Chains A and B, each alone.
Chain A
Amino acid sequence: NAGVTQTPKFQVLKTGQSMTLQCAQDMNHEYMSWYRQDPGMGLRLIHYSVGAGITDQGEVPNGYNVSRSTTEDFPLRLLSAAPSQTSVYFCASSSSGTSTDTQYFGPGTRLTVL
């Protein structure tokens, strides 16, 4: 099993550009989520999904879209990048999203918006 994979590892965008951060897991997990990590702050939940076809907003959803067409993939889209979206983005998955399920994190995507 590859676990949770994320691409790309690094990305530089100009303000206003769009891009999609990819996330995939091969553990047949129902629950997937996206976090952003900023210096001096904990991880903040952007969007999450409890299964294919179901997504919901987290704590900081503005400026981001998600979709979950398959169990394996959970892409995060930035429609018009802003410097405030410069951050490290982590995708995570767990079996069912309950508090005792272990969340498995991907290695992260470091995004810089100029």
Chain B
Amino acid sequence: GEDVEQSLFLSVREGDSSVINCTYTDSSSTYLYWYKQEPGAGLQLLTYIFSNMDMKQDQRLTVLLNKKDKHLSLRIADTQTGDSAIYFCAASYSSASKIIFGSGTRLSIRP
């Protein structure tokens, strides 16, 4: 079945760029998402990209999609302490009931 994989941890220095990577298995995924989860809170949608796009930029966030390699990345420019969180990659086919989540990448920021 569909699978979404991410590395579990990433540590970056404050002010540097963070790049969180994700791979998915099903090429029929139509939407790919990035969610952020802060401690003790639910998931918050950061951004999503449609599968016919290569890139989407929103302020400090850049999403890159390599559909051939089924690889998605989230780049956070000028990483701040407030960016510390778990970031989930997710893929869907057609509806919210078909969203498959990755296991999440814990981003920690060091001074």
Stretch among A36-44, A68-76, A78-86 lining the B interface: A36-44
A107 to B39: give the CA distance in the assembly, Å.
10
A104 to B43: give the CA distance in the assembly, Å.
8
**A31 near B102: Cβ-Cβ < 8 Å:** no
Residues of B in contact (CB 8 Å), total 26
**B42 near A42: Cβ-Cβ < 8 Å:** no
A45 to B92: give the CA distance in the assembly, Å.
13
A97 to B8: give the CA distance in the assembly, Å.
28
> Residue A108 contacts which of B30, B42, B92 (CB distance < 8 angstroms)?
B42
**A4 near B42: Cβ-Cβ < 8 Å:** yes
> Residue B88 contacts which of A42, A92, A100, A101 (CB distance < 8 angstroms)?
A42
A20 to B49: give the CA distance in the assembly, Å.
36
B6 CB → nearest A CB, Å: 8
Residues of B within 8 A of A (CB): 4, 8, 30-31, 40-45, 48, 88, 90, 92-104
* 4 nearest A-B pairs in the assembled complex, by CB-CB distance: A105-B42, A42-B101, A99-B31, A43-B101
Give me 10 other A-B pairs in contact (C-beta within 8 A), A42-B90, A92-B42, A100-B48 excluded: A33-B97, A41-B103, A42-B103, A48-B96, A90-B42, A98-B95, A99-B31, A99-B92, A106-B42, A108-B40
Residues of A within 8 A of B (CB): 4, 31, 33, 40-45, 48, 56, 58, 90, 92, 94, 97-108
